[in-house]
Structure 1
Amino acid sequence: MIEFGVIVFVQLALLVGVVILREPKLLIPCVVLGLPFEYASTQALDTLGESGTGGIIRTLLNPGKAAMIATIVVAVVRARHNPRALFPDSAIVLPLTALLLVVVIGVAWSDSGLTNAVMIMPMYVAFVFVAPSLIEDRQDLERIVVAFLVAASVLSVVAIAQRVIGVFQWRAILIQSDDYSYRSNAFFADPNNLARFLAISMALAAGMILVTGPRRLTVHLAAPMLAVSTLAIVVTASRSGWLGMLLASFLVVVMAPIRPYTKLRLTSVAFGGLGFVLILLFMQGGTNAERVKSLGAGVELVGQREFLIKGGWEMWKDNPLFGVGSGNYQHTLVTSYLWTLPWWAQTTLSHTSLISVLAELGIVGVSIIGLFVARVVVACKSAYRLSTGRYSRLMAVWCAAAMIEILFQSQSEGRLLEEPFLYLILAIVVSLELGAGTRGVDPVVEPEAAVAAPGEDALPPNRAASPAVP
Structure 2
Amino acid sequence: MQLELDRPTPIGKRGFLLLVLIELLVLVMVLTLSPRVLLPPIAFAVGIPLLFILPMYPYILFFFLILTTALDVTGIVMPNISFFGTSTPLTGFHLVLGATLIFGIANFFYKKRTLFPRIELTLPVILYLSVVAISVGYSPNKGEAIVQFLRLLALALLSFLTVFLVENRKEVTFVVASFVLCATAIAALGIFQTLNQQYFLPATFVQAVGASVPRATGTFHNPNTFATFLMVAIVLCVSLLLGIKVSWRRLVILLAIIITLLGGLITTFSRANWLATLMAVFFISVFTRRFKLFMTILLVAVCIIASISLISPNFAQLVLGRFTSIFATFSKFGSDAAVSSTSRVQFIKAAWSMFLSHPLLGIGTRGFPVLFEKYRPIDFPIWLPVRECHTLPATILAELGIVGFSIYLWFVFVVLRAGVKAFKSMDDSYLKALSVGFLSTFIGFQVSMFFTADITNNYFWFMIGMLFAVREIGMRSQSSENRA
TM-score (norm 1): 0.80
What's the counterpart of residue 243 of structure 1?
Answer: 275
What's the counterpart of residue 25 of structure 1?
Answer: 59
Query: Equivalent of 1:69, from 83, 89, 98?
Result: 98
Q: Is 2:402 the counterpart of 1:370? A: no
| Residues 203-256 of structure 1 deviation map (CA, whole Å, 9 limit, x = unaligned) | 211222333333599457533221211211111111111111111122222213
CA distance in 2: counterparts of 1:387 and 1:15, whole angstroms: 39
Q: How much has 1:14 moved relative to structure 2?
A: 13
CA distance in 2: counterparts of 1:439 and 1:66, whole angstroms: 34
Structure with max Cα Rg: 2
What's the counterpart of residue 101 of structure 1?
Answer: 130
Q: How much has 1:109 moved relative to structure 2?
A: 0.8
CA distance in 2: counterparts of 1:279 and 1:222, whole angstroms: 21
CA distance in 1: counterparts of 2:207 and 2:162, whole angstroms: 41
Query: Equivalent of 2:328, from 282, 289, 297?
Result: 297
CA distance in 1: counterparts of 2:46 and 2:203, whole angstroms: 32
Q: Is 2:473 the counterpart of 1:435? A: yes
Query: Equivalent of 1:39, from 73, 84, 90?
Result: 73
Change (3 A) 1:12 1:333: farther
Q: How much has 1:54 moved relative to structure 2?
A: 6.8
Q: Is 2:451 the counterpart of 1:412? A: yes
CA contact (8 A) 1:175 1:182 kept: yes
What's the counterpart of residue 454 of structure 1?
Answer: none
CA contact (8 A) 1:209 1:218 kept: no
1:45-444 map, 5 Å? 47-48=80-81, 51-52=83-84, 55=87, 58=89, 60-61=90-91, 63-79=92-108, 85=115, 88-115=117-144, 116-167=147-198, 169-174=200-205, 181-215=213-247, 218-219=250-251, 221-256=253-288, 260=289, 263-274=290-301, 284-285=313-314, 286-299=317-330, 300=333, 302-334=341-373, 336-338=374-376, 340=378, 341-416=380-455, 418-435=456-473, 438-439=476-477
CA distance in 2: counterparts of 1:67 and 1:213, whole angstroms: 35
CA contact (8 A) 2:350 2:375 kept: yes
Change (3 A) 1:248 1:130: same
Q: How much has 1:352 moved relative to structure 2?
A: 0.5
Q: How much has 1:107 moved relative to structure 2?
A: 0.4
State how many pairs are aligned: 422
CA distance in 1: counterparts of 2:162 and 2:303, whole angstroms: 43
Q: Which amino acid aligns with 1:98?
A: L
Q: How much has 1:384 moved relative to structure 2?
A: 2.1
CA contact (8 A) 1:90 1:434 kept: no
| Residues 426-469 of structure 1 deviation map (CA, whole Å, 9 limit, x = unaligned) | 111221232357549xxxxxxxxxxxxxxxxxxxxxxx9x9xxx
What's the counterpart of residue 337 of structure 2?
Answer: none
Matched residue SS, 1:37:
helix
CA contact (8 A) 1:136 1:439 kept: no
| Residues 133-164 of structure 1 deviation map (CA, whole Å, 9 limit, x = unaligned) | 21100001101110111011111111112111
CA distance in 1: counterparts of 2:358 and 2:474, whole angstroms: 44
Change (3 A) 1:180 1:54: closer
CA contact (8 A) 1:28 1:134 kept: no
CA contact (8 A) 1:388 1:438 kept: no
Paired-residue identity, %: 19
- Structure 1 vs Structure 2 CA RMSD: 3.4
User: 97-106 vs 160-169, which deviates more?
Assistant: 160-169
User: 400-409 vs 385-394, which deviates more?
Assistant: 385-394
Matched residue SS, 2:409:
helix
Q: Which structure 1 residue ranges, 5 or more long, are not aligned?
A: 441-463
TM-score (norm 2): 0.78
CA distance in 2: counterparts of 1:117 and 1:293, whole angstroms: 34
